[in-house]
Structure 1
Amino acid sequence: MEKLSLENIEKYIVLNNELAFEDPYVLKITKDEFLEKHTQDLKLGCIDIFILSNNKEDIGFVELSKDVDTVIIEEIYVRKQYNNYNAYKSMLEFVHKCYCDSNIRRVKFIGVNDKADLIEGLKDIGYRMEKEHIQMEKIISKLSKRNLTIDYRTFYEIGDEKWIYNFMEKCMEGSNFSYKVEEINELIEKNSDLIFVLYENNQPIGFIISYINEKRNKQQNMNVIYIEEIAILKEFRNKGYGFRVIESVLNKGKNSGMDIARLHVYRHNEKAYRLYEKIGFNEIKSIGHWNKILGI
């Protein structure tokens, strides 16, 4: 394994752009684009990139970021002809050896559970899948036009980030609420009719955050609307409001020329999963949140 520096980062660029042809979630980049964004991170040691070689041929890479006592595997890739258990296991074991004598206490990886050899390697080395979320998609380009009427106010119209923050937190009571007030302000500034609070008889009862995914549109040559978050106040759940909100967003997406709608749901959230199935979303892929405590 070879640790890359600014001088030989081209090796990573080549492999990353090969991966971009296989994975629509990886963006093709140039050396200049990478250096403009990551030069300082490389110099400060905030990110590490290692290349795996075989008979002097670069066959894969692992890209890592560091946060206090945690290393995060941002990407791990092996060329198809070498895409096997031993290659993945070698890179994973190297990561552990590299940080075992540092202040790093754990390694995290979030990735699609579609490579059997990688998953086997993760399990054999002691990674545990703490949680799993499912990507679901629905084709909306073929939807018939509908006149859907709901009472809503966009975040921009409301304008009060603290009120929105507190309301969102109340709607998501019992869930993993991770938004910050600063992020709410950014959502307000988007001035989007895809980000709004739902009202019933002038009472706020839920919200949705969705957006046109420009990055994915560019990479996949497909117009994607992404539903990031939806929540309804506890006392108004199971009354069809979530269904109406999502249907409204899908209709807006259709009218804006979107091809598909995409969202994620945790595997254990059976009620939400069934709702999305009922609306017509299909399961596309499983994404695992893997965790390994070093020294164990």
Structure 2
Amino acid sequence: MTDLLLPSKVIICEVGPRDGFQAETVWIPTEQKIRIIKELAKTGVQSMEITSFVHPRAIPQLKDAEEVVRNTQDLTGIKFRALVPNIRGAERAIDVGITKLKLMLSATDSHSISNANRTTEDALNKLEPIIDLAEKRGVGVGGSIAVAFGCPFEGKVPFSRIAEIVQRYSEMGITEVSLADSSGRANPNQVYSMLGELKDRYSKMTFSMHLHNTRGMALANVVAALQQGITLFDSSIAGLGGCPYAPGATGNIATEDLVHALYEMGIETGIDVDSVINVAKDVKQKLGHDGGSYMLQAGPNSQLHIKTESQEKLG
């Protein structure tokens, strides 16, 4: 039997504190957010999207972005990034100590108008001032493409559209782009094919994956991306999340599910499986629900059960 040719190590970026929390309608106290972030840091997570510097009216749940960042600056060994929608958000993020910004952009005009109240082209044109500011302040920047694998308003997105956006990012000096399956429409063949073509055309660009599990395809899509050599993945503790501007979208692939799957495949993440499952249990208890987590439902493969007397009799 021949094993799949997959990377030996990947880096997982925990996006629960941003993507997960922003989908919660009930206010999560700032102290609780900070406590969850600090517990996540103990699991071995090396990268985290800690918040988004959006206007409080747009996402009230993240109105405490500065306070959250200020109170987690003591964490070492972990790289924090923040999503920024505009130049004002970038200024706020940099001023409070964020050293990597993630840009916000949609693949389709329909989603972009719903999400940012402007077309994709208009949104692209407004990214350059953010990139210029980050360069002046010595801060890293990563690009993103939401609904890259399918839009809830327009359906399938032509590859030419994705390639055009990646080209624009490249011209602006961006060297890392996150491909987001924001509404969970991707399938493994599509993921494998798109990544292959993008890697051929943009060999100097680093691609990462942000996969939602709306239709139960996220883990299969992870494997397809791994087969293309992708080593950067986003995930959310307890499967929390969902795009407020993508109808029907549910949470990201659960961090504990992804870590467990990669562990079972012999792929190193640096994250302790049991520790991250325990944090997921705690998060579910604090928030009163999870976003769809197989580890919280069934537990890891290492969890064995003692047979009952009746089971013993059955053999």
What TM-score, normalized by structure 1, do the two folds share? Answer: 0.32
Q: Which of the pair has the greater relative contact order for Cα pairs under 8 Å at 6+ separation? A: 1
More helix by share: 2
Greater fraction strand: 1
Work out which of the two has the higher radius of gyration on C-alpha atoms and give 1 or 2.
Answer: 1
